[in-house]
């Protein structure tokens, strides 16, 4: 009977310890594992403990840096997408303006050609009248 009670108490202590480290790590099991390893090495003490503690500390900080780097990359991607959208908007606006200016220039060109054609026609008509008067025309 006492062995069952010991298992229950031991199991409860282990479950409580796991819950404690998960709570401190914000639910991240890798960080909880690193913190638990760090605490175990502190309890062991000695030179070997400091080496293991340094490894655990390094791993913990490396994971935190990795998470921050991932977050920064996501922010950079979001900013890049915003910039791409702005550039696309500028391109579309410029294309629209170019089309407007092309149409306007085309209209002005047609007007100039029509004016030139009218003057040539009028001048030709005057010249025809002038030359035909030489040869007996009216």
Per-residue pLDDT tens, the chain, 138 aa: give them: 556 777 778 778 777 877 887 777 777 778 878 787 777 777 776 545 567 667 777 888 888 888 888 889 999 999 999 999 999 999 999 999 999 999 999 999 999 999 998 888 888 777 776 666 666 655
| 118 to 64, 106, 109, 110, 111: CA distances (angstroms) | 81, 18, 14, 12, 10
Q: Distance between CA 59 and CA 57 in Å, rounded?
A: 5
Q: How far, in whole angstroms, is CA 24 from its chain's centroid? A: 33
Q: Containing domain of residue 119, as a range?
A: 2-134
Count: domains in the chain: 1
Q: Distance between CA 29 and CA 21 in Å, rounded?
A: 8
């Amino acid at each position: 009977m006492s062995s069952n009670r010991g298992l229950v108490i031991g199991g409860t202590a282990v479950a409580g310890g796991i819950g404690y480290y998960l709570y401190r790590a914000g639910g991240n099991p890798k960080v909880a594992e690193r913190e638990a390893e760090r605490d175990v090495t502190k309890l062991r003490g000695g030179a070997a403990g400091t080496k293991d503690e340094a490894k655990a500390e390094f791993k913990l900080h490396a994971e935190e840096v990795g998470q921050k780097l991932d977050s920064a990359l996501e922010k950079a991607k979001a900013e890049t997408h915003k910039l791409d959208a702005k550039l696309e908007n500028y391109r579309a606006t410029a294309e629209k303006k170019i089309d407007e200016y092309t149409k306007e220039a085309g209209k002005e060109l047609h007007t100039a050609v029509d004016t030139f054609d009218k003057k040539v026609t009028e001048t030709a008509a005057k010249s025809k009248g002038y030359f035909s008067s030489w040869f007996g025309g009216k």
